Amino acid sequence: MPAPATSHRRRRRWPYVLILLLAAAAGTHAAVLYWMSGQIQAGLEAWAAQRRAQGWVVEYDAPERGGWPWLASLRLPDLRLASGGVGWQAESVTLSISPREWDRLRWVAEGAQQLALDGPPMPLRTASLGGDLMLNGAAPPATGGVEARLAELDTPLGTFLLPTGQFGFEALPGQPLNVSARLQGLTMPASLLPSSPSFGPRIDNLTLDAALSGPLSMPGPLPRRAMQWRDAGGKLEIRGLTLRWGPAAAAAAATVQLDDSLQPFGAGTVRLANPGATLEALTADGAIPARTASTIRRILPLLTRLDPGGGSPVIELPVAVQDRTLTLARFPVLQLQAVEWR
């Protein structure tokens, strides 16, 4: 007869057993997340030590662990990064990893930010700014990306506006550094283009796919690093560059290096849709001298063909940069400012 009583007691124990199991699972889960946040901090400190050895400035206040119950996170108050005249500051940056994606580190910037480009810090405001880094054991992140939304940068020239921007990189051992970018609706200050009413301050779309070869982590001042990069055969291969700006719709590819004066030189091709409209706009804005424009008008019909895909007129021409002069089909188009390495 005791069997029913024993069975009843066992049934009453099950809720307690279940609660204990859930509590143990929750405790294990919390311990795992806490351990993961510690791993994030250890990886950050190792990365910061490597960057500081290369001359970077890497500063942040005491890290704060968090993210439970869904993430392992590490918040870095007052983060500051700087190297070679380029610097970025953020009120806080949070690094996080999800247990479902152990190999993906997510970072998000919050609060006030500043950006320095070889000068005093400039205020940077964003609706969101963050990205991902793909982790590979003890090695530094080799692949990652950045996404910005509703970014505003106040500069001495005026305010730059960027509704949407995506940037990516891939740095595999022994391979060139692959970079990509896509900017939509970039609006530049009117003071930067006072004589270009035909194009206006807004670039509708700009994309870039490029590879940077040569040694990139050399110590020392920037001019010496640029010289060593040049002497080691460093080059920038622009595999694809597209631009939609005012009347211009262009695509280009080129290879660029540094000359003896550490100025860019290189050659490639540019493909331009509706070249006649672009020529008239550049001439009206004074970017192309009237005499040069007259010569181009005479030969343009001989070089223009119809695009099989859209039926619009297109032209493909060689483009080159040498002695700080940009030439298109051997005609000088633009005099470039000297690059100052500091």
CA dihedral sign of residues 217, 222, 224, 229: positive
The amino acid occupying position 132 is D
pLDDT of residue 296 exceeding 90: no
Is the model's pLDDT at 7 over the cut of 80? no
pLDDT at residue 17 is higher than 70: no
Please give the residue that has the higher pLDDT: either 215 or 164: 164
pLDDT category of residue 54 using cuts at 50, 70 and 90: confident
**Closest alpha carbon to 179 in 251, 239, 117:** 239
Which pLDDT score, from 0 to 100, does residue 13 have?
A: 56
CA distance 277 to 247: 6
Tens-place pLDDT, residues 96-119: 888 777 778 889 999 999 999 878
More confident residue, 43 or 5: 43
| Closest C-alpha among 180, 177, 98, 176 to residue 135 | 98
- pLDDT of 74 reads 86
For residue 40, what pLDDT band results from cuts at 50, 70 and 90? Answer: confident
Q: What local confidence, expressed as pLDDT, does residue 152 receive? A: 95
pLDDT score, position 128: 93
- Higher pLDDT, residue 197 or 243: 243
Q: At what angle do helices 290-303 and 275-284 cross, to 10 degrees?
A: 180
- Per-residue pLDDT of 298-312, as tens digits, reads 877 777 887 766 667
When mean pLDDT is compared across 48-57, 87-96, 112-121, the lowest value belongs to: 48-57
Average pLDDT over residues 16-27: 49
Q: Which residues of 283-306 are buried (b: 16+ CB within 10 A; e: fewer)?
A: beeeebeeeebeebeeebeeeeee
pLDDT at residue 18, as a whole number = 52
- Provide mean pLDDT across the span 261-285: 85
Position 9 pLDDT exceeds 70 = no
Bridge partners for 68 per DSSP: none
Q: Which pLDDT band, with edges at 50, 70 and 90, does 26 fall under?
A: very low
> Omega of the bond prior to 189 within 30 degrees of 0, cis?
no
